[in-house]
């Protein structure tokens, strides 16, 4: 399980994930970002959504991050890491986080609130990250929402 982290650290790293989301949006992608942090606050990796640029429907920020991190870091290190996401990971991303054995997820914007903001636009699989991860055979701590209004501000829904 990851080291304990105080609320200010959660805010700092959720803001870093929100920055990744804004960068993804600037590059023509949906505004989602993720940052992987190891024990002691070391940023191990970061990623944004690439779906708009590549057309790959699995190009979510968390999946991109997990794909890279699982090739670079051993499972023991990932088990002590925290994945910070600008928005609550979808079921696909939660599954990737589970398979990588990442020990904690902290997110900004709740998926339910995003769905309410977007209305019927886009694909939706209404399963919370916590619900998906609770079905696994090892624990993944879920914390969120953190800085939800800041995370919601990245979305330009008019």
Active site residues: 62
Q: Answer whether 128's CB lies under 8 Å from 92's CB.
A: no
Stretch (H or E) spanning 44? strand 43-48
In the three-class reduction of DSSP (H, G, I as helix; E, B as strand; rest coil), residue 109 is classed as strand
* Cα gap 108→19, rounded to integer Å: 12
* Cα gap 70→43, rounded to integer Å: 15
How many separate helices (H) and strands (E) can be counted in the chain?
8, 5
Q: How far is CA 124 from CA 64, 78, 83, 103, 121, in A?
A: 19, 28, 22, 25, 9
* Cα gap 144→140, rounded to integer Å: 13
């Amino acid at each position: 399980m990851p080291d304990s982290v105080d609320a200010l650290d959660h805010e700092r790293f959720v803001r870093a994930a929100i920055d990744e989301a804004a960068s993804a949006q600037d590059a023509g992608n949906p505004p989602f970002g993720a940052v992987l942090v190891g024990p002691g606050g070391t940023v191990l990796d970061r990623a944004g959504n690439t779906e708009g640029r590549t057309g790959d429907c699995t190009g979510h920020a968390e999946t991109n991050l997990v794909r890279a991190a699982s090739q670079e870091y051993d499972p023991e290190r990932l088990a002590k890491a925290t994945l910070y996401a600008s928005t609550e990971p979808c079921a696909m991303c939660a599954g990737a986080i589970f398979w990588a054995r990442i020990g904690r997820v902290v997110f900004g914007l709740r998926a339910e609130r995003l769905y309410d903001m977007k209305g019927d636009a886009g694909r939706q699989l209404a399963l919370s990250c916590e619900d998906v991860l609770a079905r696994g055979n090892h624990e993944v701590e879920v914390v969120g929402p953190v800085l939800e209004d800041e995370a919601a501000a990245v979305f330009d829904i008019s």
